[in-house]
Chains A and B, each alone.
Chain A
């Protein structure tokens, strides 16, 4: 028996899992690397094993899909066709002459290096949440919508007793109902989108009856938990001294400006806030993959323009778990065909390709509806901290833009240090771009996460020695 070709999949969320299962079922040996202790990614984040949750599905959607993926992965692992490396924080993928080397950090402090060689790489690195600043957003008690969900799903812990969920996007609904079901008093769901905008996209939404039914279920749950739904509203300020005590919300005009006189204060100890998602593209960028706007460009087979590198899921454009599953499946099948020397036959994945088309249209329609309030930069006062890491204020950024002529994120960073801290501009990037009046562009970070200098100095040494 000839040895199976080897694929490294980075990310064990819906896209990475679907790809792993599809590739392993079609003659490929797969190494799945992920930073978490258990597979699932953010969408299927599992409670820690020690919590012995007998009904984790109470916190989840599409649980049967997860069970299918989990069981298939286990079968391929048992058969020796897949390896799942947990707690592996990938910081760099290196393209060598005849293979790829995936560099990861492991151990309690993520300081010990591990290298995995593979014939091909599939990037399923997912996304993270975008939060646009407003006064008080750095107060303890204010966290991202996804962060609240991660604590709920992963640690079965709730963030506070009285919460407001705010911002815009499809994530606000499950998090509001999830927190309410878990015993949190969710005072209000504050969504900046205009419900009338959904009516204007009726055709796109009607093409996804399942999704519409899901939305109706959430609406019923909001009612049941007495969560007040405030659409075309925004949080204008979070209040508190050492921690969050209340938020002020206000209604929005149709043009996206705050309607004066509509401000009201809601007492809460938690504000879960988010304005959509951004794709993780660092690994793709250092590999030289072409980006399209903020996401990785792929062809019909989910191939990037770098030979041997595939990508699927949020990293190729935000579109949700169902789209990630379809893309992952197609990517896995394509890898299997290409690496085993077969001619890929798209008829083999026609169903997934059809879902991919429909779901991309659906997510484009959602994108046009879920928009942050047009006035969001006006909400940033001169003393609002915009860069959370380097503590750079809105005033300092405005001074760099209007006083010193900075017209892009990079120049603002050089002048103010905004984006130079631990998170490398992931949190403040969208806000800095908004204040500078430019489009957010990929940041070209050399590595996907902080790396100890000693690890960096020794990376690839072993392989170089082999070639000497």
Chain B
């Protein structure tokens, strides 16, 4: 990580990174991070499209209040990405509409 990174700032020594998948694609995640933080760190800002306008959404309130960051984790739809911690091998899937269509 670069000198100005949050991990350097907090002198973090995270446990070894592991991989998870987003729609089958491998993403490296740092243990302890939420789904939203890991996806955002990997450059992904959106993981859902809305029911009506099919517009992309990602994290908004970041503390579990707005339900905008809903995502499917290990086949369970409508999980709040900003709250759910990641585990090795977790399968994240982007969610369309209600999350119950596929």
Contacts and interface: CB of A to CB of B under 8 A. Distances in A.
A97 interface: no
Interface string A411-431: 000000000011100110000
A244 B58 CA distance: 11
A391 B30 contact: no
A146 B40 contact: no
Contact of B60 (A142, A160, A181, A390): A142
Given A50-B15, A427-B66, A391 B37 contact: no
B59 A156 contact: no
Interface string B45-56: 110001111011
Interface in A6-57: 35, 37, 42, 47-56
Interface string B3-14: 111110111111
A433 interface: no
Given A52-B12, A144-B60, A423 B85 contact: no
Contacts, number: 173
B38 A422 contact: no
A332 B44 CA distance: 44
Interface string A137-155: 0111111101111111011
Nearest to A37: B85
A242 B4 contact: no
Interface in B2-42: 2-7, 9-15, 30-34, 36-38, 40-41
A53 B37 contact: no
A59 interface: yes
A42 to B, nearest CB: 6
Given A146-B61, A242-B56, A155 B37 contact: yes
Contact of B4 (A42, A56, A183, A427): A183
B11 A55 contact: yes
Interface in B75-91: 76, 79, 82-85
Given A48-B33, A157-B38, A158-B6, A140 B62 contact: no
B82 A150 contact: yes
B96 interface: no
A58 B5 CA distance: 12
Given A140-B57, A146-B62, A242 B33 contact: no
14 contacts: A47-B32, A51-B14, A55-B11, A150-B63, A151-B40, A152-B6, A156-B37, A157-B38, A157-B41, A181-B4, A182-B9, A243-B45, A422-B66, A426-B65
Interface of B: 2-7, 9-15, 30-34, 36-38, 40-41, 45-46, 50-53, 55-68, 70, 76, 79, 82-85
Interface of A: 35, 37, 42, 47-56, 58-59, 108-109, 128-129, 138-144, 146-152, 154-160, 181-183, 242-244, 269, 385, 388-391, 421-423, 426-427
Given A51-B31, A147-B59, A427-B65, 11 more contacts: A50-B15, A51-B10, A56-B10, A146-B63, A151-B34, A156-B6, A156-B30, A159-B40, A181-B9, A183-B2, A389-B67
